[in-house]
Amino acid sequence: MGHGPGSASRELPIHVTEDGRVFVHVGSRFVETSMGDLERILDRLATEGGSILYSRDDPAEPPDATALEVMELVAGHRLPMRLTVGPPDETTDADL
């Protein structure tokens, strides 16, 4: 469950598309991010005691290189992670 702004702990939704793009939920929408920016976001989230809500396109298929890289980044930061099946919810403004 997510927490409000300024909370010591929050859950960050991350979505990986089948074409290898990575999106994070910022404010009220998903925005595309680079791996470098994602690493900085995860650094900050780890110091805040946050967690990850992870989803990707076609979860029944084996993960691609980008999905594996995201999982490795999350694991490297020792962040708790929940997996969700299906596309991000209706708060999405980006064309995922």
Residue 95 maps to a domain: no
Q: Please, are residues 65 and 20 in contact by the beta-carbon 8 Å criterion? A: yes
The verdict on residue 88 lying in a domain is no
Domain presence at residue 91 = no
Half-sphere exposure for 54 (CA within 13 Å, toward CB): 21
User: Whole domain around residue 65: which residue ranges?
Assistant: 11-83
Give 75-91 pLDDT, tens digit per residue. Answer: 999 999 999 876 666 44
Element at 37 (helix H, strand E): helix 35-48
CATH number where 31 lies: 3.30.420.270
Residue 6 covered by a domain: no
d(CA 37, CA 66): 14
Count how many domains the chain has: 1
Whether 89 is in a domain gets the answer no
pTM beyond 0.85: the answer is: no
**Cα dihedral 89, 92, 28, 51 in deg (nearest 10):** 50
| Residues 9-60: tens digit of each pLDDT | 689 999 999 999 999 998 888 999 999 999 999 999 999 999 999 999 988 8
